[in-house]
Amino acid sequence: MPERLIGYGRASRSVRKEVVLCVDQSGSMAPSVVYAAVFGAVLASMRSIDTRLVVFDTVVADLTDRLDDPVDVLFGTRLGGGTDINRALAYCQSRITRPAETVVVLISDLYEGGYATRCSSGSRRCRRPGCGS
């Protein structure tokens, strides 16, 4: 029996970090959608963070409620269409409730079908304090 334990135990935090995984599902992103679904399922299984999964092409779909089953996530995505990153970032921004504890991960090939300048300004808005409000 050890007399004294040394190391890093599980520290309980009162404030959990939040990860918003924003995945481009246009036709050119087919392999990445598979990896992102698995990545999202792994993140969702971690009790120390809250995970949201948002997929987009020219429309945005929130698949957070399906994260516990990666196969369901894969079948919930439909590949094809254009790309509107600005719309996806605006949706993610509207869902952020704790900006200081939130990380937004954008997975895209950055072939923007919308307006590139709006996409740039949208990403800058997400970096500002209080962006979810």
Beta bridge partners of 18: 50, 102
Place of tokens 């959608």: 33
Tell me which long-range contacts 34-38 makes (C-beta under 8 A, separation of at least 24).
34/74, 36/107, 37/70, 37/73, 37/74, 37/77, 38/70
One-letter amino acid of 61: A
pLDDT, tens digit (0-9, with 9 covering 90-100), for 33-85: 778 778 888 888 888 889 998 988 888 989 888 887 777 777 766 767 788 88
What does the alpha-carbon distance between residue 73 and residue 45 come to, in Å, rounded to a whole number? 14
CB 66 within 8 A of CB 34: no
- Domains along the chain? 17-126 (3.40.50.410)
Contact in structure between 55 and 33 (CB atoms under 8 Å): yes
DSSP string, 24-92: E-SGGGHHHHHHHHHHHHHHHH-TTEEEEEEEESSSEEE-GGGTT-HHHHHHH----S---HHHHHHHH
**3-class DSSP state of 118:** helix
For residue 20, pLDDT over 90 is answered with yes
**For residues 97 and 117, which has the higher predicted lDDT (pLDDT)?**
97
Is the pLDDT score of 91 beyond 90?
A: yes
Does residue 133 have a pLDDT over 50?
no
- pTM for the model: 0.73
